[in-house]
Amino acid sequence: MRLLLVEDDPYLQETLARSLSRRGMQVSCAASAAQALSFWKSVRPDVVVLDLTLPDGDGLNVVSQIRKEGLTTPVLVLTARTTVGDRVLGLNSGADDYMAKPFDLDELEARVNALYRRARSSPATLDQRESSATARADLHTIQLGALTLDTLNGAAYLNRQPMELTPREVAMLQALMSQPGQAVSKERLFAAVFPLELDVQFEAIEVVAYRLRKKLTDTGLGLVTLRGLGYLLKVNA
């Protein structure tokens, strides 16, 4: 797969490019809107991963311009913007999927592969992208028992009622709900909860787990500590 990564943060760009390359992708990198447009037309990538905040313009303008030129390359947007209005604007501008920062690298890879497979099996047109909006929305919802998590806006709902969770608790919950009934290592959880935060002690993940466990009381879910393995989220019998 030829992947174009558009990210102006040098450290994040290098980290993502290295990680995705190790997973078998041919990664080209751009750090600005101008570079993105140039590489997009010359490299003709299979999938584009695009940060919205670029030094010379908004990433959505890049998507809009490339769509006007008839290029239907699948686009996965990465952004810290998490409001519903921002997501709607992004999808209406021609983006195919949306991930809020911080994000899990395994989920990023899964969504990129999903876009790639969909494009290869049925080359997307603008009308097809619009008709699949509902299907894309389903990709952002995880449900376990009575608990539902919207991974786009970081909102958790218990029996359709919103829960009061911090962003770090949501990040941990998302990582755990992605693998229900399976152990998730502390290392992976730390990377999901404290991405690129080099000054945070590793033991801080235990504090987040403790607080999340308390908030899961009476939800029908249990957060289990597996000594030496990590944590496991399960539906209580």
The sign one gets for the Cα dihedral 108, 95, 144, 204 is positive
Q: What is the structure's pLDDT at 199?
A: 79
In the block, which residue shows the tokens 């030129």?
69
Task: Check residue 184 and report its DSSP letter.
Answer: B
Q: Per-residue pLDDT tens for 146-189?
A: 888 887 667 888 888 888 888 888 889 988 888 777 888 888 88
Q: Per-residue pLDDT tens for 32-78?
A: 999 999 889 888 899 999 998 889 888 888 888 888 888 889 999 88
What is the rounded distance in angstroms from the CA atom of residue 228 to the CA atom of residue 231? 9
- Split at pLDDT 50, 70, 90, the class of 120 is confident
Q: Which domains does the chain have, with CATH numbers?
A: 2-139 (3.40.50.2300), 152-235 (1.10.10.10)
For residue 143, the surrounding DSSP H or E stretch is strand 141-144
What is the rounded distance in angstroms from the CA atom of residue 94 to the CA atom of residue 52? 13
Task: Check residue 32 and report its DSSP letter.
Answer: S
Q: How buried is 135 (Cβ within 10 angstroms: 0-12 exposed, 13-18 middle, 19+ buried)?
A: exposed
Tokens of 188: 């992976």
Tokens of 109: 């890879």
